[in-house]
Amino acid sequence: MTGLAVAAVLALSIAGVRGIAAARNAAVDRAAGVLLQDTTARAREIEGLLVSMRADLVLLAGSLDLPTMRSELASRDPREARWRRMGAEGALLLYLRGHPAVGHVAIRTGAGADLVAAGRRGGVPVLWRAVEAPERPHADRRLTAAVTLGPGSATASGETWLEAELLAAALPARMPEAGGVQRSCHLNDALGAPLVPDAAPAPAHAVAPAGDADGWLTAPAQVRADGWTAPSPWNLECREPRSAATAMLEPLAARYRLTLGLNLAIMAMALALGVLAIGQVRRRERLEARAHEENRVRDVERQLFHTERLSTVGRLAAGMAHEINNPLEGMANYLSLATDAAGRGDAPEARRHLDGVRQGLDRTASIVRQVLAHAEPDRAPLAPVDLNTIVSEALEFVRSRKEFAGISFQLDLESRALTVHGNQAMLGQVLLNLLLNACEAQEHGGEVTVRTRRAQEQVLAEVADRGPGVPPEDASRIFEPFYTTKHSTGLGLSVCHAIMRQHGGDLTVEHRAGGGALFRISFPQSEGAHG
C-alpha cells in the first residue's frame, strides 16, 4: 500500500511539472508571436516613412525644376534671383517641417557647392548660408543617407540636384512597452552596419544572464530602403526577456513547488517511519547478537592494555639500565684505581678516585630522579651552572676508562665561565653520553675534540670525533626513541635530546669536515654568562 501511495504521488507530481512546462512553452510562443508582429509592424512603419520622404523629395525636386535652378539663381536680374531663392528656401523649410527624420536638405551643384540649404538648429528648421556647416548631432546618435535627383549623373559637372540627409536616430525604431516589458531594438543596414544603436536598452532587471542565449526572445524584420545610400534592405531586430513571457505563471509555479515540496516531505516522513519500524526490529536482533561480541572485545581490550603497560615498563627499565650502566662502569673503574692506589699506600690518589666513585653515585641518583621527574619535568631543579666545569668533569670521567686509552682527547674551553640555567647532573649526563658515543664510534683509537664557546647570544658545547659519521638518511631520525645504528637500545640520544629541550636548548648533529660527526648542544645565554 505504501508503494502504491508513493507511486501515485510521484505520478501526480510529474504530471503537474509537465503541465507547468507546457504552459510556459505556450506563453513563450505567444510572446514570440506578438513580438514578431510588433517588429514587423514597426518595420513597415519605418519603410512607409522612408518611401514618403523619398516621394516628397521627388515632388519637391519637380516643383523646383532643378535643371534650371542654377541659372535662375545666377540671373543678373536681382529680383528674379531673389524671388527664386525665397521660393526654394520656403520649399526646403516646409519639407524639413513635414519630415522630422530629415536633418539637412540642400540644392547642390555638380561641383558639390550648396545653392540653397536648410537644416536644423536645436531641432528647429533653419536656413544655412553657403559658408555655414549644418548642425550635426553626436555621431553615435545619427547615421546619414542621401537621395540624389535630377537628370544625368550626380557627379557630372554643371548639373544640379536635391540632396537630403536622414537622421536615422529619428526613425521610429523604438518599440512601445508591452505589458510593462521594455523591449530593445537594433536597426542595421544590409551589411550589418548599425543605423540606430540599441533604440531602447532593456532595464537592468530584465537583462538575461551573461551567456544565456535562451534568455531572450528575438524577432527580425526587413525594411526596404530603395534610393537611400545605406545598402538595402535594412534589418530591424527587437528582443525582450524570455522571463517576461512567463512572469504570470511564476506565482502558480511557486505554489505548485510548495505543494510538491510538502507532498515529498510527507512521503519522505512516511517512508522514514516505515524504515524506522523495520529497522527497530532488525536492531533488536542485532543488539542481542552484539552483546556477546562486545563482551569478547572488552576482554581483548583489557589484555591489550595490560600488554601495553608491560611494554612501557620494559622500555622504561631498558632506558634506566642503559643510562645507569655508564656511571656504574665508571665507578667500577674508579674503585679499581682506588684499590691499586691504596695497595701502593698512595692515600691522596685513592681519595681522588673515591671522589670519582661519589660523582658516579650522584650521577646515578640524578638519573633515577630524572626518570621520576619525567612525568613532571617542570619540577626538575634548575640553577645557574658553569658549562666549562660540566664539560671538564665529564671528559675526565671518560678519559680515565682503560678501554679508551687509544683515543686522543682535545679540550678547547672558553676562557671565561659559560653560565647556563640548568641542572648540573642532567647536563653532565648529556655530555657523558655524547663523549661515550664519540669514543665507541672509534673502536681502534681515534680523536675526540671537545669545545665550548659563545655565538650569537648562545652558549655552545661541541663534541666531535673521527668515526664513520652519521649518514644523511639517519640524521633526521637519530634522536627518535628506540632508533639506533649500533645495536643498542636507542634511548641514549633521545634522552639527551629530551633533556636539552627541557632546558630550553637544542641538540643537533652534522657532518665533520675531514670525516666524523659533530654533536652540538646550544643554550640560550643566561644573564650571568657575560661575566
Least confident of 297-306, 447-456, 460-469, 476-485: 297-306
Distance of CA 113 to the CA centre of its chain: 66
Which among 320, 334, 318 has a CA at the least distance from the CA of 367?
Answer: 320
pLDDT band at 291 (very low <50, low <70, confident <90, very high): confident
Cα-based distances in Å from 175 to 135, 145, 181, 357: 28, 22, 10, 112
Question: What pLDDT shows up at residue 461?
Answer: 93
Helix (H) or strand (E) holding 294: helix 250-344
Tell me, yes or no, whether 340 lies in a domain: no
**pLDDT of 417 strictly over 80:** yes
Tell me, yes or no, whether 156 lies in a domain: yes
Three-class HEC string of 346-367 = CHHHHHHHHHHHHHHHHHHHHH
Between strands 419-422 and 184-188, the pairing is unpaired
**pLDDT of 223 strictly over 60:** yes
pLDDT band at 389 (very low <50, low <70, confident <90, very high): very high
CATH of the domain at 455: 3.30.565.10
Q: What is the crossing angle of helices 347-373 and 250-344, to 10°?
A: 160
Question: What pLDDT shows up at residue 154?
Answer: 40
Name the CA radius of gyration of the chain, rounded.
54
Domain total for the chain?
A: 2
pLDDT band at 20 (very low <50, low <70, confident <90, very high): confident
The span from the CA of 500 to the CA of 460, in Å, is 12
pLDDT band at 344 (very low <50, low <70, confident <90, very high): confident
**pLDDT of 237 strictly over 80:** yes
Question: 283: which 3 cell numbers?
Answer: 536492531
* Percent of the chain whose pLDDT exceeds 70: 73
- More confident of the two residues 248 and 238: 238
Cβ neighbourhood burial of 331 (10 Å; 0-12, 13-18, 19+): buried
pLDDT band at 304 (very low <50, low <70, confident <90, very high): low
- More confident of the two residues 265 and 408: 408
**pLDDT of 322 strictly over 80:** no
Domain final residue, candidates 226, 245, 264 = 245
Tell me, yes or no, whether 480 lies in a domain: yes
Question: What pLDDT shows up at residue 318?
Answer: 62
User: What integer is the mean pLDDT of 485-496?
Assistant: 71
Tell me, yes or no, whether 255 lies in a domain: no
Tell me, yes or no, whether 292 lies in a domain: no
The span from the CA of 26 to the CA of 179, in Å, is 17
Question: What pLDDT shows up at residue 460?
Answer: 92
Furthest-apart CA atoms within the chain: distance in Å: 164
pLDDT band at 328 (very low <50, low <70, confident <90, very high): confident
Tell me, yes or no, whether 261 lies in a domain: no
Q: Domain containing 418: what range? A: 381-530
Domain final residue, candidates 245, 265, 296 = 245
Between strands 458-465 and 446-454, the pairing is antiparallel
Domain final residue, candidates 229, 245, 261 = 245
Average pLDDT of the chain is 76
Least confident of 113-122, 239-248, 439-448: 239-248
Question: 87: which 3 cell numbers?
Answer: 521660393
The span from the CA of 124 to the CA of 147, in Å, is 22
Question: What pLDDT shows up at residue 111?
Answer: 67
pLDDT band at 425 (very low <50, low <70, confident <90, very high): confident
Handedness of CA 176, 181, 184, 185 (dihedral sign): negative
The span from the CA of 34 to the CA of 27, in Å, is 11
Q: Which residues contact 145 (CB under 8 A, 6 or more apart)?
A: 165, 166, 168, 225, 228, 229, 230
Q: Which of 130-139, 362-371, 373-382 has the highest mean pLDDT?
A: 362-371
pLDDT band at 449 (very low <50, low <70, confident <90, very high): very high
Helix (H/G/I), strand (E/B), else coil: 410 = strand
pLDDT digits (tens, 9 = 90+) for 101-152: 888 888 877 666 777 888 888 888 888 765 454 544 444 444 555 555 444 4
Measured in degrees and rounded to the nearest 5, phi and psi for residue 425 equal -65, -40
